[in-house]
Amino acid sequence: MKYHIILFLLILLFHTSYLSSQTCHLKLHIHNQSNFPIVLGSINGDQFTPIDSLISNDGHIKFKLSDNNTFLIYRVVIGQTLMAKVLNEPPQQLDFIFNGKDIEIETDFNATLDSVNVISSEENLVWFDFLKKEKIYQKQLKELVMQINYFQNKTDDVYYTNSKQTEIITQYNKLQKEKEALIISIQKEHPKLYATKLIRLKREPFLDGNTSEKQRRIVQKTHFFDGVDFSDESLINSSAYTDIVFQYFMLYAQKGLSREKQEEEFKKAIDVFL
């Protein structure tokens, strides 16, 4: 009887070990990709470590991913578009979440993020859906804040009537609240996803358009790190912390400052962060 139990346990152990050592795959379908070498690598802070490189077969490619219980951010670098070469811009790339399961994604070489379609992977479905929406929010907010700053400094411009100013400010404040509501809804719907941790870091302090540019900048600097948890070690396997610190430093970048003055401003950012 004891031998049967031992044999059963050995079989169970072997089966469990076999399942845990199975290899996962990343399947990519890249439209309009001209058979450039595609590089797969891992992300840790601001470091990109190449792991594998393959040539696509008519836009289709399949990478092996080691199966483990650690959440990782991988990056695929898929080559430079013609426009990127002319403008000396970096190659197209895509960062995705790996959680020990197979992933299948399709995209277009000329518009990598905008055309992403996640075929298989809940983590990446939630992640890329948010990134697309955030990109639209950021574009709209940038346009509105430029108008707000302009009419606050140009009181003689007849285009910006009081009603027009009120309309722009209202829209600016509304968009900020919509983005915040989107992040909160994702937290409620997907509380256990790694993607939700990354999305939570995209929260920003509310900047009232009725206040001056200087006042909004003070609020942004003061409350930038509200709610940021730097103790989550799982986020080390991503660029999340690096990105948020870099964004904070850029709040201290000012046009027209001498090198010495700019360094003083960056030192202020370092003091706050530390």
**Structural domains of the chain ordered from first start:** 2-120 (2.60.40), 124-238 (no CATH)
In the prediction, which pLDDT does 18 show? 36
The whole-angstrom separation of Cα 68 and Cα 106 is 24
pLDDT tens track for 93-119: 999 999 889 999 999 998 999 999 999
Q: Which residue has the tokens 């700053």?
A: 149
Q: State the pTM of this model.
A: 0.85
In this prediction, residues 187-204 reach a mean pLDDT of: 95
In the prediction, which pLDDT does 170 show? 96
Distances (CA, A) of 207 to 10, 141, 204, 220, 255: 61, 11, 9, 7, 21
pLDDT tens track for 221-273: 999 999 888 888 889 888 999 999 999 999 998 888 888 888 888 898 888 87
Residue 69 pLDDT grade (very low, low, confident, very high; cuts 50, 70, 90) = low
Q: What sign does the CA torsion over 261, 262, 266, 269 have?
A: positive
- With 50 as the cut, is the pLDDT of residue 211 above it? yes
Residue 153 pLDDT grade (very low, low, confident, very high; cuts 50, 70, 90) = confident
The whole-angstrom separation of Cα 224 and Cα 228 is 9
Residue 208 pLDDT grade (very low, low, confident, very high; cuts 50, 70, 90) = very high
How many alpha carbons lie under 13 Å from residue 268 in its C-beta half-sphere?
Answer: 12
In this prediction, residues 140-152 reach a mean pLDDT of: 94
Residue 68 pLDDT grade (very low, low, confident, very high; cuts 50, 70, 90) = low
Share of the chain above pLDDT 90, in %: 56
Closest alpha carbon to 100 in 72, 65, 67: 67
In the prediction, which pLDDT does 169 show? 95
In the prediction, which pLDDT does 85 show? 82
- With 70 as the cut, is the pLDDT of residue 217 above it? yes
In the prediction, which pLDDT does 72 show? 86
In the prediction, which pLDDT does 20 show? 43
In this prediction, residues 50-74 reach a mean pLDDT of: 84
pLDDT tens track for 3-58: 444 333 333 443 433 334 468 999 999 998 877 789 999 998 888 999 999 988 78
Q: Are 116 and 103 a contacting pair, CB within 8 Å?
A: no
The whole-angstrom separation of Cα 62 and Cα 31 is 15
CB atoms closer than 10 angstroms to residue 179: 21
User: Is pLDDT larger for residue 270 or for residue 137?
Assistant: 137
